[in-house]
Structure 1
Amino acid sequence: MDPELFKGEGAMVKFIIASHGEFAKGIQQSGEMIFGQQEDVEVVTFMPNEGPEDLMQHFTQALGEATETGEVLFLVDLWGGSPFNAASRIQAEHPERMAIITGLNLPMLIEAYGARFTMEKASEIAHALIDVAQNGINTIPERTQTTEEAPTEADAAMETTPSAPATDINKVEHTGEATMDIRLARIDSRLLHGQVATAWTKAVQPDRIIVVSDTVAHDDLRKTLLVQAAPVGVKVNVVPIQKLVDVWDDPRFKGLKTMLLFETPQDVERAVAAGVKLTEVNIGSMSHSEGKRMVTNAIAVDSADVQCLEELRAQGVKFDVRKVPSDPSKDIFALLKD
């Protein structure tokens, strides 16, 4: 992945996150944990001992030079509340370049961060966020029975025990060359979580996320939870390593945009040794345990990990160390020398 992917040109829309109490500070921190540190984002909190004039002063300070120039989007907690009312007074004076959206939740904020790189108008971003915020609200168990999509040939191919009808397409002729479009291969001890489901999914836009792990594939609870964590519009499969080896050049996956998630470099090495050709692997996190040393705040290694990474490098695999797409890319071997 190109480290410059999320670097736009020119001025971005400025965000003002506003709330009753310190909710705004907390959701800003949560958003940056998932999407990375953001510029041109200010927080306004309205505390119990403050009045409307205090709130207006906070907004004025947060806006800075944007009071007079530039696009501004207010992301506010509650329609009709004091933060909304104060923001409305400001927006009414600059309706051509300021907008407000209420009902702030984390999916909305993360989507907003990504939207700034493709949208230049505050109002355009605000309108685009409504569906995302609504789709981020789900329940377990589901409130209503939904109609499941008909399984595709690729779905059948992903079954650990093949269940597809006995048609000619199931007589796979392995070519040794990938048929699926591998958009990202990532080592992440947490596998599918917020940073992957939002920031990375937005960056690489996969049709399918494949979690590759013998351990998780045989753990029904973890497997179910990972499938349920699928981003909107993306299917998730959890498969053992051998299943990836079996299907990575399967014609039923021709052109399928895919993200591969591995727990450990050892799992990547096993897949590569069995014939899966990967040219680049992103390292997001490798969890700490006894005997491992931290090389970044998210990556811990021992001698076995280092040896595995070196063997993969010898086979032509390059590594890109980044938690989120907006992070600068780092060299794992340079980090290991520090």
Structure 2
Amino acid sequence: MVGIVLASHGGFADGIAQSAQMLFGEQNNFAHVILKPDEGPDDIRGKMEKAIASFDDQEEVLFLVDLWGGTPFNQANGLAEKHEKWAIVAGMNLPMVVQALTERMMNAKATAHQIATAVVEPGKDGIKTKPADLMPKSKAPAAAKEAAPAKGTKKSIPEGTVIGDGHIKYVLARIDSRLLHGQVATGWIPAMKPDRVIVVSDSVAKDELRKSMIREAAPAGVKAHTVPLKKMEEIAKDPRFGNTHALLLFENPEDVLRAIKGGIDLKTINVGSMSYKEGDVNANNVLSMNQKDVDTFHELEKMGVKFDVRKVPSDQAGNMDAILKKAQSLLDEKK
């Protein structure tokens, strides 16, 4: 496994490491070193050497540093000159670190050079502005301009057209009361590689502000939509979505049950987060339930649905039976 070293002036690397591990959980072969105001080049070089010595594999090392030409970069460069398999990427930001951890998680045989190449575009794409028109305009290549459709051209696929095998692919179906947020955008989406995120919720579909926030929270290259349950049932039966790989997000188990009864073919549900509401009990640190929730999970279980209880892909799966038993016990105590 590639060892990853984050390095920066001041506490920047420490903060990014903490943020990344909030999304991915504790990481092995992952270090963060900083150059303090009263330290010099030899100090941070020594920290780098100590970090690398702790890695399981010192043949493959990737440095993510804050500034090209700064002291952390220069010391990493001095170390890397003796190791042709090592790599350095400057301009470190959180999307870049998240992509590095994702690449490593998805492919244990990935090299430092491969991961270095993979993190550059996500690092760039992580830079966005609001309003969006504050982003500098990039010039499109001439060939792209020529290929662009004329204004007013409508790209629509006639009803009844069968694309691919005519069946939408669900790469993940997740219960998460926060819907599309950091753990989904930087953990599950890179891991599952959907081309669309679909929030399935009658209430959110009526809320223009939340719909807008969900669209804007989607990472580059992934479209985010919000649809009511009936619309999702139509999409599930529409053969024009045969090449679509969708990640579905539900706010609660009741909506999942309605979706399955409506014909949406979901075999496994990722249970990520259910925030506390009045009348709930805390089944664990991220799942709060009421009696209706517990009964719904049991009904889904009887239908053959499996539960994958994880906040992020790197978590160990939780025991849903134990969680439901604890929730039921706490609910009985409240009666």
Q: Is TM > 0.5 for Structure 1 vs Structure 2?
A: yes
Q: Which residue of 2 aligns with 1:54?
A: 43
Deviations 1:49-95 (A, max 9, x none): 2222222221222121559942111111111212112212211222x
Q: Alpha-carbon deviation of 1:216?
A: 0.8
Match of 2:243 among 255, 263, 286: 255
Identity of aligned residues (%): 45
AA partner of residue 252 (structure 2): T
Match of 1:123 among 102, 108, 113: 113
Q: Which residue of 2 aligns with 1:70?
A: 59
Q: Alpha-carbon deviation of 1:295?
A: 2.2
- Give unpaired runs (5+ residues) of structure 2: 139-144, 327-335
Distance 1:168 1:250, change over 3 A: closer
**What is the aligned length?**
309
Matched residues in 2 for 1:131 and 1:305: separation? 41
> SS of the residue aligned with 1:93?
coil
Distance 1:153 1:324, change over 3 A: farther
Match of 1:37 among 6, 11, 26: 26
- Give unpaired runs (5+ residues) of structure 1: 1-11, 155-166
Distance 1:325 1:68, change over 3 A: closer
AA partner of residue 227 (structure 2): V
Q: Which residue of 2 aligns with 1:242?
A: 230
Matched residues in 1 for 2:241 and 2:67: separation? 45
Within the alignment, does 1:272 sit opposite 2:251 as a pair?
A: no
AA partner of residue 110 (structure 2): E
Matches within 5 A, 1:59-138: 59-64=48-53, 69-94=58-83, 96-116=84-104, 117-118=106-107, 120-138=110-128
Check the 8 A contact 1:210/1:259 in 2, yes or no. yes
Q: Alpha-carbon deviation of 1:331?
A: 2.6
Check the 8 A contact 1:178/1:277 in 2, yes or no. no
Q: Which residue of 2 aligns with 1:180?
A: 168
Deviates more, 1:124-133 or 1:17-26: 124-133
Distance 1:17 1:231, change over 3 A: same
Q: Alpha-carbon deviation of 1:249?
A: 1.2
**1 or 2 for the larger relative contact order (CA 8 Å, sep ≥6)?**
1
Q: Cα RMSD (Å) of the superposition?
A: 2.5
What TM-score does the superposition give when structure 1 sets the normalisation length? 0.84
Distance 1:127 1:279, change over 3 A: closer
Matched residues in 2 for 1:320 and 1:231: separation? 24
Distance 1:49 1:218, change over 3 A: same
Distance 1:68 1:129, change over 3 A: closer
Matched residues in 2 for 1:132 and 1:114: separation? 11
Check the 8 A contact 2:3/2:58 in 1, yes or no. no
Check the 8 A contact 2:185/2:218 in 1, yes or no. yes
> SS of the residue aligned with 1:316?
coil
Check the 8 A contact 2:171/2:194 in 1, yes or no. yes
